[in-house]
Amino acid sequence: MRVPKAGAMAVVVGLALTATGCGGDEGPQGTLSIGIKFDEPGVGLREPGGTFTGFDVDVATYIAKELGYKPEQIEFKKVDSSDRELLLQYNEVKFVAASYSINDKRKAKVDFAGPYFTAHQDILVRADDNSITKAEDLNNKRLCSVSGSTSATNVKEKLAPKAGLLELGGNSECIIALQEGSADAMTTDNSILAGYAAQKGNTGKFKLLGLSLSNESYGIGVKKGNKELVEKINAALKKMVADGAWDAAVKKNFGSANYRNEPAPQITTGS
Ligand code: GLU
């Protein structure tokens, strides 16, 4: 009876060695949680069927692949502008790819890889509105912006301090407010506004003013202190630009939005 038992053991050990030892392409195990926007067409959008589209989704998926993860290991989690730092601090997500501008206030709480994209703050109005053509025109108008965004801060601090600012949780709420008339304008990055203006069902409804009210350098947010991950993501971003995937993602996601993107920025974070 002893001989077959030992034989069975040998088979089990042999299988275990095969499972971990062969192929050489075993990536990290488990799920990779990535924070993205769920409501920004062209940038980060959860489609009705539960799939995800947008430039940030493509960038995040490319990074995940370079980190060794398979697409089925990715779990996209919804982030809002106001909770991106918290979700990183509490390890809810490994990184954030969510139209996330790099700035000093945020750098005190999280680290950034990148930048990987340059956008500019702009204003969206209803197509038939000719009363708003520049930022100052927003004073005494009702303006919607997202709480926790650089756009809302810029309005309050410099662009139009006398605007009646309606701060909502997400840009999809602002676009409804604009459409329904509870806001006269909305402001955020041109990349995001162009996506709404071009969305099916919205064509002809809105007008993008084409102002360049700020420079928004998008970074990939990671937990503060994780220098190794910043370096790895920077390497992935450089590769994405070099091999043409960055251009392809821009074309695919911003192509129909009548919007001219800036060229890929230099990666400057990390050491
Ligand atoms: N890029 C700006 C920011 O990070 C506006 C867009 C957003 O809130 O995601 O605040």
Same domain, 53 and 111: yes
Closest by alpha carbon to 233, among 186, 184, 269? Answer: 269
69 contacts 61 by C-beta, under 8 angstroms: no
Same domain, 148 and 32: no
The amino acid occupying position 141 is K
- Which atom of ligand 1 is the closest one to the Cα of 150? 10
Task: Give the predicted TM-score (pTM) of the model.
Answer: 0.88
Same domain, 159 and 221: no
- Which atom of ligand 1 is the closest one to the Cα of 188? 5
Closest by alpha carbon to 52, among 27, 32, 34? Answer: 34
136 DSSP assignment: G
Q: Whose CA is nearest to atom 10 of ligand 1?
A: 149
Strand-strand pairing, 44-46 and 39-40: antiparallel
Same domain, 106 and 136: no
76 DSSP assignment: E
Domain with 144, as residue range(s), is 120-208
Number of domain units in the chain: 2
Same domain, 65 and 158: no
How far, in Å, from the CA of 154 to the mean position of ligand 1?
11
How far, in Å, from the CA of 9 to the mean position of ligand 1?
57
Same domain, 114 and 220: yes
Tracing tokens 């971003």 back to the chain, one arrives at 237
Question: Along the 271 residues of the chain, how does pLDDT read in single tens digits?
Answer: 444 444 444 444 444 444 444 445 678 999 999 999 999 999 999 999 999 999 999 999 999 999 999 999 999 999 999 999 999 999 999 999 999 999 999 999 999 999 999 999 999 999 999 999 999 999 999 999 999 999 999 999 999 999 999 999 999 999 999 999 999 999 999 999 999 998 888 989 999 999 999 999 999 999 999 999 999 999 999 999 999 999 999 999 986 656 788 889 998 886 4
How far, in Å, from the CA of 168 to the mean position of ligand 1?
13
